[in-house]
Amino acid sequence: MDYTCRTKSLQAIVKDIAKGRIVLSHKLQRKEGQWNRVQKPDLIDSLSRKYPINPTYSIKESDTLSVIDGVQRLSTVRDYLNDMFALSKTLEPVTVNNETKKIAGKKFSKLDEETQDAIKNSELQIYELTGCTEKDVREMFKRQNAGKALSNGQLRIVRETDELSSLIFSLTNHPFIKKVVTDTQSKKDLDKDIVREILMLTELGEGSKPISFRSKDIDAFIDYYNDNINPDKIETLKTALDELDKAFEENVKIKQTSIPMVCYGMYKVIDGKKDTAKYITWLKKFVETYDTNEEYLQYCNGGGTASADMVKGRLKYFDDAVKKM
């Protein structure tokens, strides 16, 4: 592995993001939008005061930099220069060209020209990694994030092979998954665990051993599935998601615990060559009457929804419905 450390102005970074030369959606990185209303203005304030900022790390492939650490910083810079948020009203003035400038409470467009230029010309360091193996990339990710409060789901990617991570990344971007996963869930990377649970169902749903969605059991499944991805089952799953996407033209509210079951149900319909129209009719009624469906809700309420008994109950409910198609 080799690397080059370059400095780029904020203006150049924003242009490169807009043109696709810097990509903020690497499969190992948390999605944008993790920072709150305090963290974003603090970054811009720090840049205005010439405080040192941690470098960004990226993988260089051809002319593209895929960011593996620093997505929140770069997306914040882009958003501020595009006038998408204002700075905190409590910020102290900064010094630009020996003059005191007020920045508190201001969007970028409301700053005077000198202050705008000073911010646009501020620089960040970006490490460009080349010739690195997938193992190198994952080890870098693990070490860079060693002190950060990442969720179990966000850390789970370190256990996955490149093939599995790419598959999960692809499935989370399927149009139907986008329709049923909320923006908040996506920002927390819960969509990746939803996809992992779907894969568990397609792989283990017909087995005699109960399936649990507890954290340790998802981890154990990943360790197994890394070397046991079945291309035929994946194609069937993609077809199932395509059918669901066609059936629901707009976003649809489905509880997180039920999204894997909904996808698994259609997977079973496709795999068993059953009538997809019948499943869609049944599913739409299921969604409409969800809040009063006591037979199903007994497996969805309470703190143990990831337990084997709860998952088994939801799974049986969908299995029984599919058998009647």
pTM: 0.61
pLDDT of residue 325: 83
pLDDT by residue (tens digit) across 222-255? Answer: 999 999 999 999 999 999 999 999 999 889 999 9
pLDDT band at residue 29 under the 50/70/90 scheme: low
Q: At what angle do helices 231-247 and 190-204 cross, to 10 degrees?
A: 120
Identify which of 118, 125, 286, 311 has the alpha carbon closest to the alpha carbon of residue 212: 311
124 vs 62: which has the higher pLDDT: 124
Q: Is the pLDDT of residue 314 over 80?
A: yes
Least-confidence region, from 148-162, 192-206, 284-298: 148-162
Q: What is the mean pLDDT of the chain?
A: 89
CA dist 226 and 199 (Å) reads: 12
pLDDT recorded at residue 151? 61
pLDDT at 187 over 90: no
pLDDT at 63: 87
Contact (Cβ atoms closer than 8 angstroms) between residue 141 and residue 68: yes
For residue 298, pLDDT over 90 is answered with yes
Q: Which residue has the tokens 């197994």?
A: 224
Residue 61 has a pLDDT of 86
Can you tell me the mean pLDDT for 294-323? 91
Long-range contact set of residues 134-139: C-beta below 8 Å, sequence gap at least 24: 134/161, 134/162, 136/1, 137/28, 137/59, 137/68, 138/28
C-alpha–C-alpha distance, residues 210 and 154, integer Å: 25
Q: Is the pLDDT of residue 46 over 60?
A: yes
pLDDT of the residue at 208: 61
Q: How do strand 123-130 and strand 2-9 relate by DSSP bridges?
A: antiparallel
- For residue 45, which amino acid is it? D
Structure confidence by residue, pLDDT tens digits, 77-118: 999 999 999 999 989 999 999 999 999 999 999 999 999 999
pLDDT at 40 over 60: yes
pLDDT at 100 (0 to 100): 93
- Is the CB of residue 126 less than 8 Å from the CB of residue 87? no
Query: What is the arithmetic mean of pLDDT over 40-59?
Result: 92
pLDDT of residue 147: 54
Phi, then psi, of 22 in degrees rounded to 5 = -120, 125
Could you read off the pLDDT of 117-165 as tens digits, one per residue?
999 999 999 999 888 887 877 777 767 665 555 566 666 777 888 899 8
Q: What is the pLDDT of residue 145?
A: 63
Least confident of 2-11, 53-62, 117-126, 127-136: 127-136
